[in-house]
Structure formats: C-alpha cells, structure tokens
Structure 1
Amino acid sequence: MSETSSRLENQINHFVALGKWDKVESLWQQVLEDPIPQAKFYATLAAHMVRAEKATELKAWTTLLIEACQTKNNYKEIIQIARGVLHSLPDFTELRAPLLEALKHHHSNLARIEEFLEASGIANAPTLFIPLNKFLQYISCSEGQCFIHDHWGAGQVTKLDIPGDRVHFHFQEQGDKSFSFAGVKEYLKKLPKTHFLAQRMINPKMLTKRAEAEPVEFLKYYLHNHHNSVARAKLKEDLLKGVFDEKGWNSWWGKNRDKFRFDPYIGFSTSAANPVMELRTEAKSFHEELLQEFLRVDSFAKRHNLLTEMLKRHEQEALSDAAAKKIHFVLDKALGECGGEQFAERLEYLYLIEDLNAVLSHKFNVDGLSADESLLKSLEPIALITALSVHDYQIRAADRLRNANPDAWNDLAEKLFFAGTQRLAQWILKELIAQGHTDQAIHLAEQMLHRPDENPELFLWMVRTLREGKWPELPVEISPQLMFDAVMEIIQTCSVQIAHEVIDAAKYRGVKSRFENLLTENRQALIAEAFQDMEIEDVRRRHTEIMGNPALNEAFKLAFDNAVRSVCYNLDHDDGSASSTESNEHFVTKASFEARQKEYQQIKNTDIPANSKAIGEAAAMGDLSENAEYHSAKERQKVLFRRKEALEDLLQRARTLEPNQVDTSVVGFGTKFKIRNQDNGKMEEYTLLGLWDADPEKNILSYLTPFGKQFMKKQAGDTLVVTQPSGNTIRYEVLEINNALK
C-alpha cells in the first residue's frame, strides 16, 4: 500500500470513529481514484456505518467504488471490497454480478474455478458473505497449496474433496493426513508459496541452487522465514530435508561459515558447537559485535573465546585502539581480582594479555609478576600447568619451563606426560622425538600402556594411535591380550564407581562407553586379536567370566561373544582337537572365506618363513638363556603355528552357499529376519551369517552364537522365549524372513 493510501486510510478511520460522515464522504472521491486494497478497512467502515444506520449510504459509496474498479479492471480490489462490506451486509446482492466477474478474471488460471463457483453457491445464494468465503477457502485449499501444522510441520495439499468436505495433505514428516475445511481453518496456517518451507516441498532443487549461488542471501531469506533467529542445528535439520545431503551440507557450511560470521547483517553467537544466527535490522561490524559480547560476559572461558575470535580476524579487520583499551581494562581488572591462591587463573589472564599485546604496536604493561615469572616461581609447576583450562596455554607454559631449565626438562616432561591432557602428551612426545630423545618418548609410551589407571583418556588415545600406526617413530609393542586386560580393568573400575553412584558418575559412564567402543570398533578387532592366540581353556574361562559380568550391557556381551567365536570355533566343545569337530561343517560367505584363505597363505608363505629366519639370526648371537630376541621369536612361532592349524581346520570344514541355496522358509544361515519384542513391542531385524561374517553393530550375527542358535529353524509366525547372556529372558515373535545374500 502506498504512503498516500495509508495516509488516506488513517484520515477516514479517524472521522469514522468520530461519526463525521460528511468528512468521510468528502474523502471518498480520493478512494475512488486510489482504492485502499485492504478488506479490513472496508469491514471496519461497513461495521460502523451499519451501526450508525447508514447502510443506504454504504451501499451507494460501495457501488460507486466497484464501478470505478471495473473501469480499471481492478478485479483484486473488487474482491477485497466485497469481502469487507459483505461481512456487515451479507444480503447486498447487487454485488453478485461484479463479484462473479472479478472472481473469474482474477482466478482465470485455476482449472477448477467453475466447480468452485458452483459448489460455493455464490451465483444463486440469497446472501453472499458465506458463499464468498467458501469459494476463497476452496482457492486456499486447492492442490499444491502449502500449510503448516504446530506439531506435524509443513504439508502440501494433494487432493481437494469438496463433496466429502475433506482436504488431503502430504506432510514431509508425518506422511498423508486429511482435514475437514473447518479443521484446516482451526489447526493449519497457510504458507506463502515464497516461504522456505513451501519452496522445500514445491521445488527443493531450486533452493539448492539458490543456496549454492548466493549463500549469504539464502541464509537471510531462511532467517526471515524463521522469526529472524535460528540455531545452526535447526538450520542443518531443515536443509537436510531435501535441500542437501549430509556431505553437501558439510561442504556448504564449511565453505560459507566465515561469510555468515562476518556479514554485518547476520548476528552470530560465539557457541562453536551450535551458534545462533540472527538477522539484524542495522549493520554491525564483526569486532563491534564481539566487543559488545566481551564486555558483557564475566567468565574466563567466554572472554578467551571471544578475544581469540577477534585476534584471528585482526589482519582483515584491525582492532581499534579504543577497543583494545576496553579489552585491556577488563583483563587487567580480572587479573587484579584473582585471589592469592588462584595461580592458574592469574597465569591464564597474563597469557590472554600477552595474546592481545602480540597484535598491537603499543603494548600494555602488567603490574606485578609477568607470566614467565609467575610460572618459574611456582612451587608446583606441574600442578599449575595441568590446572590451565586452555590446551595452548598448557603447551606454552611447558615450553617456557623447558627453555628456562633444560637440564630438568626430562624429569618434568615425564611428570607432565602422565598428569596432563592428550594434546599436552602429544606435544611432549613430538618434542622429544624432534630433539633426538626418541628412547625417552618410547619409554613414556610404554609406561602409559602399563599404567592405564593413571590417565585412562591418555591411555585410550595411546592405544588408538599405536594400533592405527599413526606414529611410526614410536616402535612400541604391547600384546593384544595385555591391552584387552587393561581395557577390561578400566571398564570394571568405572562400573564399580557408577554402581556406587559417586558424584562424578556421569564422567565414569562416558569413560566406560568410550572403552567399550574401543573393543567393539572395527568389527571387534582387538577382542579377536587378544583371544586368537590364547589356549582354549583360557579362552573358555575368560569368556565365562565376561559373559557373566553383570556390569556389562547385553549389546557389549553380544559383540564380545561374536568376536571370540570368530577365532575360537571350538568354544563350546569339551576338547579343542580338530578330530572332535572334523565332521562338523560350518557355513560362511564367499567373501569371508576368501579373506581367511588370504590370511592362511600370508601366515604359511610369509610370516612363518620370516619368523624362522628371525629365530636363526637370534640363535646365532649365542647364550640363549639371556637372548630376549630369540625367546620372543620362539613365542611368535607358537602363535603362528597355532593360528595356521586353526585356519587349516576351519577352511577345510567351511562351506559357502549361493544366494539361490538359501532357504527362506525358516531362519538359518544367509537369512535376514524381522522380529517383534513382545515385552516392549519394538521391532528388531537381524542377519545370520557365518562366524567370520559377524558385525553386531549392524545386527549381523553368527548363526553359531547362543542368541542366533535360538532362532534357527523358526518360521514366520512362530513365537519363542530367548535367553540372554545375563540369564534374562525375552519373548519374540518372528514376523518375516528374507534372503540376506541377494
């Protein structure tokens, strides 16, 4: 609406409220020349005039206005005028002809317009207000229109059933639903076709192109459609529903995050994990935004994060002297408020002032001890460094301590290694190797592997680093059995703490979960490696202990059981000889059979000859009683021959099935089956394959496991009671059996 029309509307409303109808009539000529395009205006005017018994004048003025609009083909305005006036004069049937003409012209591109007009009764009904609103509702609910529901999200009209009084929708998150016309009005809100949610249903590919071509403008458009504020997690959730896949989203966000961050019209919170973005009405520079936030917060962590953000941007947008003074004032005040025992807090603020001075030509002075003086005069430098909350500051302090006292560094490095964080330990190892002290680095790594309780998180990092071969400079070896035992000891310790509900039980739950993941990742590789070289009696003993441990959850026990059975085929037999099981075939997939054949050939043709050579070379050194290399090679020989014999037996008895040989009438090897847990109603799906194929994370189980065996030969429709490793029982119903090899 133009400024002139808006001013005219305000004038008329003013005189209407005062009942000065002569003034309204004098202004009506302007309305005839420039009609006000708001139905609400005419509804308000009509209501006042009818109450003032001015219906005759209202009809006359309306007729003049309709005729003026007809001469200009202003059909949209005619509809708006009729909507407003008919609310108070529903029997003003003189509007029927011009209204029908306007509706037909304005909605001429609508295929079902004649049907809508006839169904509404607007052509012959004794009054016009209700028929007009019916027609407009049919238009609003025509196929392709978009609405939003408070709980079901956005939906699009798929079918309009006028005789049945039903509007059928497809909601992106809830599927197909239908409402009566009254239900649509009460529970749904119409979305403009330009709205993000509407466009995501109508043309998601167009949104993708728009987001890629103009990412900043696209984000502003999205924010405008979401009350000008949204968290990153919500943005991601919405864009993953048709605009991007996961990879596309990660690429788009990674490429454009800084563009969003530094746009003057997009506010960006400092939360790294889930920042909130806001659409501003006034521009604000990056430094202005962060400085305002910096002056507001009162914690060191938030101040550090905000100042770090500003300093990163310093080259592109220099920090003004005025801003630097304000920042220094806050830091200096916080420094002065640190108590006598707050050594770590004081050192952190000193380092923060150092960071600020690093980008300024004019440096700020510090009253009292400098950062280095505070560190060197500390009676407990190890405790001080590990108490710092910023990893980079821990490394900075350790580095300066080393430079100040290089003779004592080796002893300090070892203490810091065990007491500090993963990043600090990693830095220490790298520095030792870089300085030529590889022996000490190896010593520290070996000590950590034998002292897991001192720093479980560091132990976890060390195990993964060594197993993944990330540090070839650290030739540290530890047997999988010792590694497994150490991990189980930590899991048991955490379980005891959790059971006693200690104050930091949540921390122990996290540690326990991460160590269980270590054992079950990569298809339980560590478990398999630990047990494949054990004597069968040791395997059975450890297996019984772990399966009966109430502190371990059922999912972990299932994964553990599968891993052990993949390398210990005779776990359930009374003796481990091949003869006791030589007639027992076992089924495996072709892929796992070929993988084990490859392993067998590697051991037979490469590993054993190399081991024999190593034994010969070690024996040539003489004095076998003190020859560690010789004894290590001989132990390795036993392991290799034991594994070779086990593989020979398993490969001889292994049988593979072709997809067309799988019997899907019953649960068995090569089938995927769906079951219902009758105790909680949940659906579950499992695949039964061979002992070399199991992957519990994907619900792929060996048909030889106790869990898998209980389903063997069951048909769709059968019910059974399954016993878990803990002894608990669950009732299941078999719903469906399919071929897993196709």
Structure 2
Amino acid sequence: MNEDAVQELISRKPELKSKRDKLAAMKAGSYCIHRSWGFGQIRDYDAGDQKLIIDFVDKPGHKMDPAFCLNTMEVLADDHILVRKQTEPEVIQEMIDKRPADLLVELLKQYPNNAATGVEVESVLTRVVGEGAFKRWWTRARREIARDPRIASPARKTGVYVLREEPVSMEEEILQDFKSTRSPRRKVGLAEKLFQAAKENADFRDPLGEVLETLDAIVRESRQLTEAERLHAAIVRDDFARLLGRDPGQLDPTTASLVAEARELPEVVAELPAAYQSRVLEVIVEAFPAEWKEVAFNLLKTSSGKFTSDCINFLLEHDLAEEILDTLKRWQTEQNLRAPLLLWIVKNRNSKRFRKIIGDLIAPRLLSSIFFAIDYEALQTAGTRRIPLAEELSDDQELITDLLAEADAETARDLANTLLLNQGFEELTKKSLLARFIKQFPTIQSLVAGEAEEREERLLVSRESHDRRTAELQEIIQKKIPENSRAIAAAREHGDLRENSEYKMAKQDQSVLLAKRAQLERELARAQVTDFQNATTDQVGIGTIVTLKDLNTGEQLEYTILGAWDSDPEKHIISYKTPLAASLLTHRIGEQVSVRIGDHENMVEIVGIRRYVDEAQG
C-alpha cells in the first residue's frame, strides 16, 4: 500500500486513523506473519478490491482486507530473523547448524529491552528451523545457550530470555545466586548445578572450596531441612569434596551416619531426587554392618522406577540371587509385591541377566498379584491418575500370553473374572485384555455375555448420589454445552476453519462434553434409587454395616455397604459393586470369608450386622 491507498482507506474508515503507521508498513515486498496462516510476503495491493495480495506458504495469492490484518497480522522488520531466513538463507542456516546461541542473540535484538519469553522464542525459532527438526535441534541448542555468557536463560519455559548488557558466564551466574540466597534448600539445588558446570569446566575450581564449606555447614547445622533434604545435601557435599581431592569420610556427619540414623529409611529414600537414591546403596554396608542385607531388601520392597533396578543389581553384586528369588516368592504369597516392583518384574521377564531371579515368577499367580495391585492402587488413587502397571499390561501384547502359558482353563476363567471386577481399567481396556484371554482359552467367551448382562442390570443408588449425578448432567446440558456452542460460533468468525485453532479446540471440547453427557444419561437410565429400608440384619446386604474380625490379628474392622455410586474410603463406606463388598454379600454372622483388605488377603469372621438406616436416623 502506498500513501494514497492508506489515505483513501482512512477517509473511508476514519476509525483507522490511529493505525496509519501500521497500514503504511503494509508495503509490497514486506514480509509478515499471520496468526492463522503463518509466514508470508505482501505481493501487491489491489486498489479496485481494496485488498492486500499476500503469498503465504500454503496460500499464495491470498487476498485480505488491510483493516482485518491489523489485528491478525504483523509486518516484520527487514532485519527480523524470519525475514533474514529468506534474504540471507546461507547465513541463517550456518547459525542454525553451528551457532545456535548467535541465532538467539539476533532474535532477542528484535524485542523491546532485548527480552522475550520462552514461548515467544520457541514460536519464532520453530518457523526458522522447521517444525520437524525443531525439537531435537532445540534440545541441543539450549545446552549451548545456557553456557553463553551473553544470554540469561530462564529456569522455566514460561520464563524470559534476556540479552545481557555485560556477559556473565553460567558458572558465575549460578555462584552469584548461591551466595545471595539464604534458603538452604535453594543453595543445595544451585550447588548441584555448580557441580555439573565445574565438571565440564576444569578451570572453574577456585570458588568451590567456599561452596563446600557452606554445604558442610548446612548438613551440620541447618534445622530447616527434612531428613531426606539433609541427606541430599550431604551427598552433594561429598561430590564437591571428591572433586576437590578431599576425603568425604572426614566430614561430619558422614553420609553413612545420616543413613544409619534415618528413622524410616525407605520413606527418606523415596523423598530423595531419583538421581540420588542409588547413592544410599553405596554406604549401606558401612551404615548397617550387621543388618545391611535386611535393610537392602526393605528398600527393594518399597522401591520404584530406576531405584528398583539399582537395588536388584546391588543385591546381585553381593551374590544374593537365590535370596532375591526366595524373598520375591514370599512377598507374592503375602500379597506384598507392590505395583512398582511388579512392573519391574514384567518389564525384565525376558532379560538373561535377571532370568534366574524372576523366571519362576512368570506364571498365572503373578497375574493375580498384578490385578490385585492395580485394583488396590485404583481404590487409593483419586481422580483419573494413570496407573503404570495397568498401562504396561495393556500395552505389552505378549504379557498376558506369557503369564497364562502354564494356566489351565479354570484358572484362566478365575483370572478373567477378576479382570472384569477390577476398578483400575476402563471398559474398553477390559474388553481388549479379555480378548487376549479368549484367544488362549475360547471357553472364557461366556464371561463376555455374562458381563454384558451384568451391565444391563439396574444400579441401586442412594438419593444423594443420584442427585449429584443428575446435577452434573444438568450443568453439562444447561451451562457447559451452551457455553461451548457460543465458543464455536465465536471461533467461526475468525475465518478459515481449517487453520482456526480456536475452532478446533472448541470442537474437541464439544466431543468431550457430548461423550460425558451420553455416559451420565446411560448410568442414570439404569439407576434405581433406594433408601436402604429393605436391608435386614439376617445377612450382609446393601444398606448394612458389617463388623469383621481379622482371624490373624484379632483386629475388628467395620464397613458400610451402600449404593453403586457411594464411596468414602476414609469413613469405610464402600459401594456394593466393589470386590470387597461383593465377597461379603449374603454371608451371615459367624461365617468366615476370605477378603482382601489393603495389601493382604485375610480370613475374617462376620461378628455383627446392623442396618445403615437405623444408624443414620439415630
């Protein structure tokens, strides 16, 4: 657009007078970036149509109203990094390949105060580098950028990259932060970064003696740290001592003494950063000369992730393969194999290194332990948090086949039934897993029909839980769906629906809302409200409070069995659909029942049955 075209547009639309400079910048040959269509170049201005002609990457010759462009498009300066990629492609490509820090410096010069957020930086550099190659390139580039003294890098993606007036090395910057902060926790975190920087820069050693003294004082004197945080600080302190050629054993307190003094060592280790958990194993023999073996097995029992492998390898290095196998079998019998350890077993079942210690465990009984661990974790977990063991069972196509290799039809049927009752899987996942059972044992097909019939049965629910679900459905129908419809309509006004991110997000929200609405409508259609008045004390039923006596410990437990949607574990209120309630239903006072409570499968005796409504009215 030339000056005459700008003036004509303003005379026709006086409200654009304040935007004269932006309109004047829309000259032929200028490069621009559009909110939806990305990078482009203004080719010309059609005075007849009064529209700009813009060559976007995927929309050449696209016509746009200049007034509309004011809010959706930015005209780029001639020295902008995206423009230079077109005008100086070889220079920019050389920076991409060899000098990523220089590329960021050039980009930051384009922003006010030479500062831009991580989101802004990544958005532009994705276009410069290319979307397909950006992720891998950025992972490498960030390491170089973090070491560049010209750039202050943020700790988080939402932070700000700043082009410094005076260069400051990464080591100097961390050291300044270390000296200025008063928080012992933050000092330890900064000391970790200093240690990594010092390992990569052999010339950076002089200030580390002061850092070591500070860390030693924190370990010795700080009262602000938990046991785990103090142990973490001691391990970092020891790393600095070794780097400076000093003996960590001469520092007091030693890491071994802190490990020995820990009141609940497994809990302390669980709170350590994952990268430091294995360091406890390095001092465990020194900390517990007589009982280190027992301590190591206790750590294995509650371990998770990489620390599980570390514990196993530690025990193998001490020639304890047979004891590992015996212990794992004992824990399986006691129902004490926890989900993270089970996950490690199934992931390593084909490993030659571990075959001797876990080969005998790959059997139907292990699948029972897996189902129990998943069900238990689902009962203890609020919301829809992922259960890694359940995901592994679903993702590993050969796992169920391997575990059922030695099973007979009756055992497989029992396990399939356990799967159907398990609360740790979605219905579609259950069907997928059940299909693997049926492939090996076709007679299990009848369970599918039985389960389908069960799903069509009426659900007995309390008035309160029915009202809650009804209110949730009404909120979706009366509030959330109309709001979503308005959002879709508003998003349509932004133009091309194929490139309209707001429209796509609103449509995705619509799919979620409609699916939730359908689910609630199906559940409410099956629901039958009950006031539990028909409950009797003759036998355990829906609407009863049952008192159990653990025949192993003598401890008495009390559970209230209510409707399908009633659950309050803290108050021992459970749904009649849970495995625990199902195992108790129809039994009478004096009868003994095998139930699973917590981590254990126990024999209990029913010693009392009361009506819930009598207690509630009382």
Moved more, 481-490 or 530-539: 530-539
Change (3 A) 1:472 1:354: same
Change (3 A) 1:182 1:442: same
Asked whether the equivalents of residues 387 and 424 of structure 2 are also in contact (C-alpha less than 8 Å), the reply is no
Change (3 A) 1:538 1:406: closer
How far apart in 2 are the matches of 1:163 and 1:492? 71
Q: Secondary structure at the match of 2:361?
A: coil
Show the counterpart of 1:358: 242
Show the counterpart of 1:216: 101
Match of 1:167 among 47, 52, 72: 52
Asked whether the equivalents of residues 445 and 462 of structure 1 are also in contact (C-alpha less than 8 Å), the reply is no
Asked whether the equivalents of residues 528 and 566 of structure 1 are also in contact (C-alpha less than 8 Å), the reply is no
Show the counterpart of 2:283: 400
Change (3 A) 1:282 1:469: farther
Asked whether the equivalents of residues 340 and 389 of structure 2 are also in contact (C-alpha less than 8 Å), the reply is no
Q: Secondary structure at the match of 2:398?
A: helix
Say what the alpha-carbon RMSD is for the aligned residues.
5.0
Question: Is the aligned partner of 1:290 residue 2:163?
Answer: no
Match of 1:487 among 366, 370, 373: 370
The residue type paired with residue 28 of structure 2 is S
Match of 2:390 among 516, 519, 528: 516
Change (3 A) 1:528 1:353: closer
Moved more, 254-263 or 214-223: 254-263
Question: Is the aligned partner of 1:478 residue 2:351?
Answer: no
Deviation at 1:290, TM superposition (A): 0.5
Question: Is the aligned partner of 1:243 residue 2:129?
Answer: yes
Asked whether the equivalents of residues 6 and 23 of structure 2 are also in contact (C-alpha less than 8 Å), the reply is no
Show the counterpart of 1:686: none
Match of 1:142 among 28, 32, 36: 28
Deviation at 1:178, TM superposition (A): 5.5
How far apart in 2 are the matches of 1:347 and 1:324? 20
Q: Secondary structure at the match of 1:189?
A: strand
How far apart in 2 are the matches of 1:304 and 1:174? 53
Show the counterpart of 2:145: 260
What is the TM-score with the length of structure 2 in the denominator? 0.58
Asked whether the equivalents of residues 118 and 160 of structure 2 are also in contact (C-alpha less than 8 Å), the reply is yes
Asked whether the equivalents of residues 160 and 168 of structure 1 are also in contact (C-alpha less than 8 Å), the reply is yes
Matched ranges for 1:82-481 at <5 A: 137=23, 140-142=26-28, 145-149=31-35, 156-157=41-42, 160-167=45-52, 169=54, 179-185=64-70, 187-198=72-83, 207-225=92-110, 228-229=114-115, 235=121, 238-241=124-127, 243-244=129-130, 246=132, 248-249=133-134, 251-253=136-138, 255-270=140-155, 277-297=161-181, 302-314=186-198, 316-319=201-204, 321-322=206-207, 324-325=209-210, 328-329=213-214, 332-333=217-218, 335-338=220-223, 342-360=226-244, 369-376=253-260, 378=261, 380=263, 382-383=265-266, 386=269, 389-391=272-274, 393-403=276-286, 405-446=288-329, 455-467=338-350, 471-472=354-355, 474=357, 476-479=359-362, 481=364
Matched ranges for 1:516-555 at <5 A: 516-522=390-396, 524-530=397-403, 543=416, 546=419, 552-555=425-428
Deviation at 1:414, TM superposition (A): 1.4
Deviation at 1:283, TM superposition (A): 0.7
How far apart in 2 are the matches of 1:534 and 1:153? 59
Deviation at 1:437, TM superposition (A): 2.8
Deviations 1:23-75 (A, max 9, x none): xxxxxxxxxxxxxxxxxxxxxxxxxxxxxxxxxxxxxxxxxxxxxxxxxxxxx
How far apart in 2 are the matches of 1:159 and 1:382? 73
Change (3 A) 1:435 1:298: same
Match of 2:430 among 548, 552, 557: 557
Asked whether the equivalents of residues 267 and 277 of structure 1 are also in contact (C-alpha less than 8 Å), the reply is yes
Matched ranges for 1:656-667 at <5 A: none
Matched ranges for 1:34-113 at <5 A: none
How far apart in 2 are the matches of 1:136 and 1:380? 68
Asked whether the equivalents of residues 466 and 476 of structure 1 are also in contact (C-alpha less than 8 Å), the reply is yes
Deviations 1:118-154 (A, max 9, x none): 97899xx9xxxx99x99995772436631454x8765
Show the counterpart of 1:624: none
Asked whether the equivalents of residues 339 and 374 of structure 2 are also in contact (C-alpha less than 8 Å), the reply is no
How far apart in 2 are the matches of 1:174 and 1:534? 62
Change (3 A) 1:447 1:544: closer
Asked whether the equivalents of residues 302 and 338 of structure 2 are also in contact (C-alpha less than 8 Å), the reply is yes
Q: Secondary structure at the match of 2:244?
A: coil
Deviation at 1:280, TM superposition (A): 1.6
Asked whether the equivalents of residues 157 and 170 of structure 1 are also in contact (C-alpha less than 8 Å), the reply is yes
Change (3 A) 1:117 1:441: same
Aligned length: 453
The higher radius of gyration belongs to: 1
How far apart in 2 are the matches of 1:396 and 1:299? 24
How far apart in 2 are the matches of 1:153 and 1:679? 23
Asked whether the equivalents of residues 144 and 157 of structure 1 are also in contact (C-alpha less than 8 Å), the reply is yes
How far apart in 2 are the matches of 1:203 and 1:446? 68
Deviation at 1:244, TM superposition (A): 4.0
What is the TM-score with the length of structure 1 in the denominator? 0.50
% same residue:
15
Asked whether the equivalents of residues 371 and 422 of structure 2 are also in contact (C-alpha less than 8 Å), the reply is no
Asked whether the equivalents of residues 339 and 389 of structure 2 are also in contact (C-alpha less than 8 Å), the reply is no
How far apart in 2 are the matches of 1:437 and 1:449? 18
Change (3 A) 1:142 1:513: farther
Asked whether the equivalents of residues 143 and 160 of structure 1 are also in contact (C-alpha less than 8 Å), the reply is no
Uncovered stretches (5+) of structure 1, i.e. residues with no partner: 1-112, 499-504, 576-677, 684-721, 730-742
Q: Secondary structure at the match of 1:222?
A: helix
Asked whether the equivalents of residues 212 and 241 of structure 2 are also in contact (C-alpha less than 8 Å), the reply is no
Asked whether the equivalents of residues 368 and 415 of structure 2 are also in contact (C-alpha less than 8 Å), the reply is no
The residue type paired with residue 479 of structure 1 is I
Deviation at 1:439, TM superposition (A): 1.8
Change (3 A) 1:254 1:342: closer
Asked whether the equivalents of residues 248 and 254 of structure 2 are also in contact (C-alpha less than 8 Å), the reply is no
Deviation at 1:723, TM superposition (A): 10
How far apart in 2 are the matches of 1:383 and 1:259? 38
Asked whether the equivalents of residues 532 and 568 of structure 1 are also in contact (C-alpha less than 8 Å), the reply is no
